[in-house]
């Protein structure tokens, strides 16, 4: 008898759970059906813009093997930091070591000498400063440098501005399609963002261009160079209710 009394509440709870699940499925089906039954129009909106990079990331590798007189890595590092500070660069903020696990890399040369190398990432704000950095490092005998990537510090705000333009573009398209047939737009039923954001940085493939141009300059005047602008493209799909 006791066992029977325990089974009754369990069955009632199970019945309630099944009822709730069936109710949820029914409501979901009704919502989908009501969405499909209403008249709507679906359009894609686009917006794009070109942005001049204000973040330039330079990879710098210093190595004892690159010096004839076997200057120590520590001395090379001191010279590099001093040279960058002469250019007005805040090395404490903008210069970081790329190898997080270990500041130094060791390798064997001619199976005898163990030499050290170290890799850094330097962030500057424009192509002119990047050129000055390359010139200074060449002067110090540090030639293993390249531009890794470029970006923009306000990339999120710029993308959001493009989103606004894209959804307005979608609305204009919808109006252009419905006005000739005397229909009006209602509220948006669904908005989908198909944009691929990434991290906001563009990898630079031809990394030697700046340094090569600089090396060919015979005057003290800096070469007039700039990086290719970053293209930001946004695609927004919108379903509008038709009245």
Residue 46: φ, ψ to 5°: -125, 150
Per residue in 46-64, pLDDT (tens digit) is 999 999 999 999 999 988 7
Distance CA 52, CA 63 (A): 33
Using alpha carbons only, what angle is made at residue 92 by residues 90 and 97, rounded to the nearest 5 degrees? 120
Distance CA 180, CA 79 (A): 72
How far apart, in Å, are the Cα atoms of 110 and each of 113, 114, 115?
7, 9, 11
Q: What is the 3-state secondary structure (H, E, C) of 160-214?
A: HHHHHHHHHHHHHHHHHHHHHHCCCEEEEEEEEECCCCCCCEEECCCCCHHHHHH
Helix or strand (DSSP H, E) at 127: helix 127-139
Record the pTM: 0.67
Q: Is 216 a residue whose pLDDT tops 60?
A: no
Domains located in the chain, CATH noted: 54-152+206-225 (3.30.70)
Least confident of 35-49, 101-115, 127-141, 165-179: 101-115
- Residue keyed to tokens 């989103």: 163
Average pLDDT along the chain: 78
102: confidence class by pLDDT, cuts 50, 70, 90: very low
The pLDDT value recorded for residue 71 is 78
Per the CB < 8 A criterion, the answer to whether 232 and 51 are in contact is yes
């Amino acid at each position: 008898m006791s066992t029977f009394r325990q089974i009754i509440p369990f069955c009632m709870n199970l019945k309630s759970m099944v009822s709730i699940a069936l109710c949820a499925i029914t409501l979901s089906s009704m919502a989908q059906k009501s969405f499909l039954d209403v008249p709507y129009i679906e359009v894609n909106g686009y917006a794009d813009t070109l942005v001049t990079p204000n973040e330039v990331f330079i990879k710098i590798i210093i190595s004892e093997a690159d010096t004839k007189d076997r200057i120590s890595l520590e001395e090379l590092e001191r010279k590099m930091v001093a040279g960058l500070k002469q250019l007005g660069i805040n090395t404490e903020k903008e210069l970081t070591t790329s190898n997080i696990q270990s500041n130094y890399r060791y390798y064997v040369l001619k199976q005898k000498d163990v030499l050290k190398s170290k890799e850094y990432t330097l962030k500057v704000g424009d192509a002119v400063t990047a050129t000055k950095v390359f010139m200074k490092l060449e002067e110090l005998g540090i030639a293993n440098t390249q531009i890794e990537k470029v970006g923009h510090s306000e990339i999120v705000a710029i993308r959001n501005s493009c989103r606004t333009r894209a959804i307005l573009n979608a609305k204009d398209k919808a109006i252009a399609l419905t006005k000739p047939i005397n229909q009006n737009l209602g509220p948006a039923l669904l908005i989908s963002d198909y944009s691929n954001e990434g991290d906001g940085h563009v990898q630079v493939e031809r990394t030697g261009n700046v340094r090569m141009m600089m090396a060919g300059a015979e005057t003290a005047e800096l070469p007039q160079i700039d990086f290719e602008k970053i293209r930001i493209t946004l695609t927004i799909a919108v379903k509008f209710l038709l009245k």
